[in-house]
Chain A
Amino acid sequence: MSNKNLKDYWKRNLLYLVILLSIWFLCSYGAGIIWKDSLDSIRFGGFKLGFWFAQQGSIYVFCILIFVYVWLMNKLDKEYDVHED
Chain B
Amino acid sequence: MDVKMWTYLIVGLTFALYIGIAIWSRAGSTKEFYVAGGGVSPLANGMATAADWMSAASFISMAGIISFAGYDGAVYLMGWTGGYVLLALLLAPYLRKFGKFTVPDFIGDRYYSNTARTVAVICALIVSFTYVAGQMRGVGLVFSRFLEISIEWGVVVGMVIVFFYAVLGGMKGITYTQVAQYCVLIFAYMVPAIFISLALTGNAFPQIGFGSTLNDGSGVYLLDKLDGLNQELGFAAYTDGTKSMVDVFAITFALMVGTAGLPHVIVRFFTVPKVKDARQSAGYALLFIAILYTTAPAVAAFARTNMINTVSNKEYATMPEWFKKWELTKLIKFEDKNGDGKIQYLKDKETNELTVDNDIMVLANPEIAGLPNWVIALVAAGGLAAALSTAAGLLLVISTSISHDLIKKQLNPNISEKNELLWARIAAGLAIVIAGYFGINPPGFVAAVVALAFGLAAASFFPAIILGIFSKRMNMQGAVAGMIVGITLMIFYMLKFKFGIFDGGKDAVAGLAKSWWFGISPEGFGTVAMLANFAVAWAVSFMTPPPPAHVQQIVEDIRIPRGAGEAHAH
Q: Which residues of B contact A52 (CB under 8 A)?
A: 211
| Cβ-defined contact, A84 with B275, below 8 A | yes
Question: Chain A at the B interface: mostly helix, strand, loop or mixed?
Answer: helix
**Count: A-B pairs, CB below 8 Å:** 130
Q: CA of A73 to CA of B73 in the docked complex: distance in angstroms?
A: 34
Q: Which residues of A contact B283 (CB under 8 A)?
A: 63, 66-67, 69-70
| Cβ-defined contact, A28 with B294, below 8 A | no
Residue-wise, chain B 246-269 has the 8 Å CB interface mask toward A (1 for contact) of 001100110000000000000000
Q: Which residues of B contact A66 (CB under 8 A)?
A: 84-85, 88-89, 279, 282-283, 286
- Known: A45-B212, A46-B212, A66-B88. Contact between A59 and B224, CB under 8 A? no
Q: Which residues of B contact A24 (CB under 8 A)?
A: 82, 85
Q: Closest approach, in angstroms, between the C-beta of B203 and any C-beta of chain A?
A: 10
| Cβ-defined contact, A29 with B560, below 8 A | no
Which listed residue (B222, B280, B560) contacts A6, Cβ 8 A?
Answer: B560
| Cβ-defined contact, B74 with A62, below 8 A | no
Q: Closest approach, in angstroms, between the C-beta of A59 and any C-beta of chain B?
A: 5
Give chain A's interface residue range (CB within 8 Å of chain B).
35 or more
Chain B: CB-nearest residue to A81? B562
Residues of chain A from 29 to 85 with CB closer than 8 A to chain B in the complex: 29, 32-34, 36, 40, 44-48, 51-52, 54-56, 58-60, 62-63, 65-67, 69-70, 73-74, 77, 82-85
Q: Which residues of A contact B222 (CB under 8 A)?
A: 46
Q: Closest approach, in angstroms, between the C-beta of A36 and any C-beta of chain B?
A: 8
Q: CA of A48 to CA of B221 in the docked complex: distance in angstroms?
A: 11
| Cβ-defined contact, A34 with B245, below 8 A | yes
| Cβ-defined contact, A46 with B249, below 8 A | no
Which listed residue (A45, A65, A73, A85) contacts B221, Cβ 8 A?
Answer: A45
Q: Which residues of A contact B290 (CB under 8 A)?
A: 59-60, 62-63
What are 8 A-B pairs at a CB distance below 8 A? A33-B249, A34-B245, A45-B212, A58-B78, A59-B78, A70-B279, A82-B561, A84-B561
- A residues engaging B (CB < 8 A)? 1, 6, 9-10, 13, 17, 20-21, 24, 28-29, 32-34, 36, 40, 44-48, 51-52, 54-56, 58-60, 62-63, 65-67, 69-70, 73-74, 77, 82-85
In the complex, besides A33-B245, A54-B77, A63-B283, 13 extra interface pairs with C-beta distance below 8 angstroms are A1-B560, A29-B249, A44-B211, A46-B222, A48-B223, A55-B66, A55-B71, A56-B297, A59-B81, A66-B282, A70-B283, A77-B276, A84-B563
